[in-house]
């Protein structure tokens, strides 16, 4: 289970990188905006001496949408993985199980039975 946890975390990092590096710029190209910087400003901030805005209160819905896209990608990949594993297990279960060969004692008893019927 520990290996699965570590692999899941690594896979999550790969998906996050994919979303932030490839998906978000493509969506930004379509909507003409940086997807991660989309926000709704509740209270505007004040620029300080260095020009950085401080005291701004905003809802960062662009980052939330990016996280939702990450989740959907991970959930879809996990769905495909589980579906594939279940399909393999089903094939194994459907394989016909051959009846075990009768033991020497059973063969001898069957021959005796057949001789007694005659």
Pick the CATH number of 2-117 from 1.10.1200, 3.40.50, 1.10.8, 1.10.3470: 1.10.1200
pLDDT, tens digit, for every residue of 7-45?
888 888 888 888 888 888 888 888 777 777 788 889 888
* Per-residue pLDDT at 74: 83
Q: Facing residues of 46 across strands?
A: 54
Q: Which two tokens stand for residue 72?
A: 């959907």
Tell me the pTM: 0.60
Other CB atoms within 10 Å distance of the CB of residue 49: 5
Task: Tally the C-alpha atoms within 13 A of residue 54's C-alpha that lie toward its C-beta.
Answer: 6
Q: How far apart are CA 54 and CA 95, in angstroms?
A: 67
Closest CA to 15 of 59, 86, 84, 67: 67
* Per-residue pLDDT at 38: 82
Query: Where along the chain do its domains lie?
Result: 2-117
Q: What is the mean pLDDT of residues 60-81?
A: 86
Q: What percent of the chain has pLDDT over 90?
A: 16
At residue 40, what are phi and psi to the nearest 5 degrees? Answer: -115, 115
């Amino acid at each position: 289970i520990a290996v699965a946890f570590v692999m899941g975390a690594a896979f999550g990092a790969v998906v996050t990188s994919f979303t932030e590096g490839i998906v978000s710029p493509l969506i930004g190209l379509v909507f003409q905006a940086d997807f991660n910087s989309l926000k709704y400003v509740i209270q505007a901030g004040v620029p300080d001496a260095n020009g950085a805005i401080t005291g701004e209160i905003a809802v960062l819905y662009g980052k939330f949408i990016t996280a939702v896209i990450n989740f959907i990608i991970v959930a879809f990949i996990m769905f495909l993985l589980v579906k594939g594993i279940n399909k393999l297990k089903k094939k194994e279960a459907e394989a016909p199980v051959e009846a075990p060969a009768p033991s020497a004692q059973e063969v001898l008893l069957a021959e005796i039975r057949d001789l007694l019927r005659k």
